[in-house]
Structure 1
């Protein structure tokens, strides 16, 4: 094992979580996001600003330029998808919760009711795939076998719909260093992508942003 790999293996991040997260309270977004929760989320200007900022950062990492075609996994009420559309990207968003999709009447962002673990589009349809603050719901599955299968399903489908040379960025909130590395390891084991974690503000837990960056090879 190279010195670089040894250092990466040793590297660990501390997570200070004072309050129970939504995915820990319900584990199923359809249970947690009632109409009341959806309304509070969708009307939050603070969440809108946060997600717009994360989306801007994700686009810089991807080096994406409009009018690229972008798939937004777990789009929620469309904060990221709306920003992408305003910046002239061809945007399609999916979410498992119809209440999120219907909250704002924005047909231009092409909202699709679908589960990120089992959705379908044409092969090699997208230049980029982006996911903001959604993957942790999949990681909340308590059974390792199911959790592993869900993550593999996401990797397989993303590989199918992404063009050769396409890129993926997933920003998420793991509950621990082990959960973060488990997610990356399962994706790596599919052998579909090359990539790495990109971590902003690694030494400041409250400001830390964790991204999994992936590239699909050109055959």
Structure 2
């Protein structure tokens, strides 16, 4: 599959799924698998920081960042997602913006943002290092990147299942430990990581496990990186 076709099919998929995602996103951010993301980010990013929310979906996460006092630009490949985003914006929201954009070719100058947030976004690139280099480009030196990578127990990983049949897929099954190695090999410092576990995991038992086994049980691993 060419990169052009990969990106085209990703866009089509999320255009088709936009209404379904919009019906679920608030619950995910408030009570579900994404509820710990913004508290994690707030530990390292001061209010007023200029944040790029990459793969912002319907914009609920961007909206929550804005409520916390950040200057937020949300981007998504899907035009349908951006339509949902725009419905969140009123005339008095001066620091919340949305636009359609491809993470492989972002329409921003070098070093535009203080912080990047990318939750389950980089996995949708055919060659994740290409997306990684592009998103890093727009972050200021000394800036931070909050990245969420799906773990082995995450149901959305089924999007890559058909590769076992030799069929084309449009999700790259990057593991948390693979992303960690990618970041370290490309001059980013890992400041912190937080693991989000699937319901049913007993945290008392997890605490005694080595790092690789902890990651093996995750629904998502959150990384805070410094450029």
Q: TM-score, normalised by structure 1?
A: 0.68
**Correspondences of 1:1-219 after superposition (within 5 Å):** 28-35=9-16, 37-44=17-24, 45-49=26-30, 50=32, 53-61=35-43, 63-104=44-85, 105-107=87-89, 108=93, 109-138=96-125, 141=126, 147=127, 151-175=128-152, 179-191=175-187, 193-195=188-190, 198-200=193-195, 203=206, 208-216=219-227
Deviation >3 Å, runs of 4+: 174-178, 201-209
Contact kept in structure 2, 1:70 and 1:130, CA below 8 Å: yes
CA-atom RMSD, angstroms?
A: 2.9
Structure 1: tracts of 5 or more residues without a match:
1-26, 142-146
Deviation of 1:57 after TM superposition, in Å, equals 3.1
Please give the alpha-carbon distance, in whole angstroms, between the structure 1 residues aligned to 2:191 and 2:174: 15
Structure 2: tracts of 5 or more residues without a match:
1-7, 154-172, 198-205, 207-213
Contact kept in structure 1, 2:56 and 2:62, CA below 8 Å: yes
* Equivalent residues, number: 177
Paired residue secondary structure (1:117)? coil
Q: TM-score, normalised by structure 2?
A: 0.66
Please give the alpha-carbon distance, in whole angstroms, between the structure 2 residues aligned to 1:116 and 1:174: 21
